[in-house]
Amino acid sequence: MLHTRIYESVIIINATLEDAQIDAEVEKVKDFIQKNNGEIRAIEKWGRRRLAYAIKKKNNGFYTLFEFKAPGDIVAKLERQYHLNENIMRYLTVQLDKKALKAKEVGQKTPATEPVVAEEPKQGVKL
């Protein structure tokens, strides 16, 4: 058994697709990871966003982040799948190190442990 690591992969899907087609593309990636001994930890759909510059003459993309645990040989296979899929405009896969995992863990715990208190406006101050 190969040593498993934790990865994050962000893909930009063609935003002109229907929502059902975008969901199907996300499912394809999820299934591919699972079929190659990967374990999905999280999927975040960031939604449609304007691109900083046009990619394949398109100005918008649908961003999706996958966090998964898998053997090291999966990255090359996964990026090959991305490259062959014409609906995926860009992708980036990175291995998370211990420092990044700890920072992510702390970032998720902070909002829950520290409640946000809204301040009332001071008297005599017009808003």
Q: Each residue's pLDDT tens digit in the chain (127 positions)? A: 457 899 999 999 999 999 999 999 999 999 999 999 999 999 999 999 999 999 888 999 999 999 999 998 999 999 999 999 999 999 999 998 877 777 777 766 544 444 444 444 444 444 4
Q: What CATH number should be reported for the domain whose range is 4-98? A: 3.30.70.60
Domain spans, the chain: 4-98
63, 14 Cβ separation under 8 angstroms:
no
Could you please report the per-residue DSSP string of 43-65?
Answer: EEEEEEEEEEEEETTEEEEEEEE
13, 61 Cβ separation under 8 angstroms:
yes
Entry pTM: 0.77
Q: Tell me the Ramachandran region of residue 71: left when phi exceeds 0, alpha when psi lies from -120 to 50, beta otherwise.
A: beta
